[in-house]
Copies of this chain bind each other. A is one copy, B any other.
Amino acid sequence: MRPASEDDILAIVSRFFPTGHPSLLLDRGDDCAVLRPSGPLAVTTDVFAEDAHFRQRYFTPFDIGWKALAVNISDVGSSGAKPAGFSIGLTLTGKEDSVWLESFCQGMTALTDRFDLAISGGDLARSPLLNICVTAWGELPAELPRGLRRGVAQEGDIIFLAGSVGLARLGLTALEKTVSSEDVASTAEHWPAACAQHLRPMPLASEGMALGRFAVEHGLQDRIGLMDVSDGLARDLPRLLDRRKNGLGADIRIDANNIHPEVRLYCSQNGMDAASFAFMGGEDYALAATCPADAWPELEVLLSSFSVPCLRLGTVRRGPVTLNGKAPDSAGFDHFSA
């Protein structure tokens, strides 16, 4: 099919994304859209760039649309905010036809529908590689004016995880080895959960908001730490603890039984330690969190209501971050650029 013209593109976008939304005072289509914030706004920006974050060889246009938005919603949710809207700076190559664009939009609307997001507008440019820059925002309750954030942990706090880790790294590893579309199909069949986690991670925004509400209800706004795990626990846990500033570490315990079976299978086939693999793996967009030990029993009840597996990882302490009693293998997940 012929490449879509700029007018075609805008017509397709308009078909998928309504111009108006109750949270907008002025719809997109003007120099600016106008938001009506009801309280503090959590804002994040993530670039999703071809050959840096994804390859067209194994990402469908639906996957690209989904993940470009998902990684931003994940950031919003991990601040405890309710995702509300986004804008998009879309750089296309000029080769995309209308089928491609429709699929890309569908990948985004799958998430905008789920989270009831407004699209406030965006911009279109052309370049040899795809580049999708999303800025997303969410609304924080007045009682949580700075959101849930990193660096609030103290010695003795519990560290826990919502969602699983390691799967997306396995998906990336397996998909990077493919050379043909047949390869991609058989890889997706062989490692279905891993490929899905890499291609279409589900942002845990509802879970982040639930943790935000819990913090408010228990007066723990400044004592529950939260972030999404985009670069792997090995890199992100020190950030969660603000280790560089305060020297906090943790004794992390990951039992192989709590690791996804696909990861365990892959690691046993390749003579790797599954816990280390999971600890290093990035892009799962799980939530890593800290809480005071005395809040843990009640928090555990909340976590048991989540639709994703949750795991107590260990306890904050002065000293190094260790995994199952040993220093972790390396500094973490480095994506393609490694």
Interfacial residues, chain A to chain B (CB-CB below 8 A): 25-26, 30-37, 40-47, 49-53, 75-76, 78-79, 81, 87-91, 120-129, 131, 133-135, 137-138, 140, 145-147, 149-150, 226-228, 337
Contacts of A146 in B (CB 8 A): 25-26, 34
Copies in the complex: 2
Counting chain B CB atoms within 10 Å of each CB, the highest count among A46, A121, A131 belongs to A131
A33 to B149, CA, bound (A): 10
Which of B43, B50, B52, B134 is close to A34, meaning CB atoms less than 8 Å apart? Answer: B43
CB-nearest residue of chain B to A26: B146
Provide the main secondary structure of the chain A interface.
strand
The 9 closest A-B pairs by CB, nearest first: A89-B133, A133-B133, A32-B42, A135-B135, A45-B87, A47-B89, A32-B79, A49-B125, A47-B125
Are A40's CB and B30's CB within 8 A? no
Contacts of A145 in B (CB 8 A): 25, 34, 36
CB-nearest residue of chain B to A30: B149
Besides the known contacts A32-B42, A32-B78, A41-B41, 4 further A-B residue pairs in the complex with CB atoms under 8 A apart: A32-B44, A43-B87, A45-B120, A45-B121
* 14 contacting pairs across A/B (C-beta < 8 A): A30-B149, A30-B227, A31-B149, A32-B76, A34-B145, A36-B40, A45-B133, A46-B123, A49-B91, A51-B127, A52-B91, A52-B127, A125-B131, A128-B129
A25 to B146, CA, bound (A): 6
A122 to B47, CA, bound (A): 8
Known: A126-B49, A227-B30. Is A43-B120 also a contact (CB below 8 A)? yes
Are A34's CB and B45's CB within 8 A? no
Which of B30, B78, B133, B337 is close to A150, meaning CB atoms less than 8 Å apart? Answer: B30
A82 to B140, CA, bound (A): 23
Contacts of A90 in B (CB 8 A): 47
CB-nearest residue of chain B to A208: B31
Are A87's CB and B135's CB within 8 A? yes
Q: How far is the CB of A41 from chain B (nearest CB, A)?
A: 4
Contacts of A137 in B (CB 8 A): 35
Are B337's CB and A45's CB within 8 A? no
Counting chain B CB atoms within 10 Å of each CB, the highest count among A45, A128, A149, A226 belongs to A45
Contacts of A150 in B (CB 8 A): 30-31
CB-nearest residue of chain B to A38: B37
Q: How far is the CB of A199 from chain B (nearest CB, A)?
A: 18
Known: A51-B127, A126-B49, A127-B129. Is A37-B30 also a contact (CB below 8 A)? no
Q: How far is the CB of A145 from chain B (nearest CB, A)?
A: 5
Are A121's CB and B52's CB within 8 A? no
Are B147's CB and A45's CB within 8 A? no
Known: A40-B34, A43-B32. Is A50-B127 also a contact (CB below 8 A)? yes
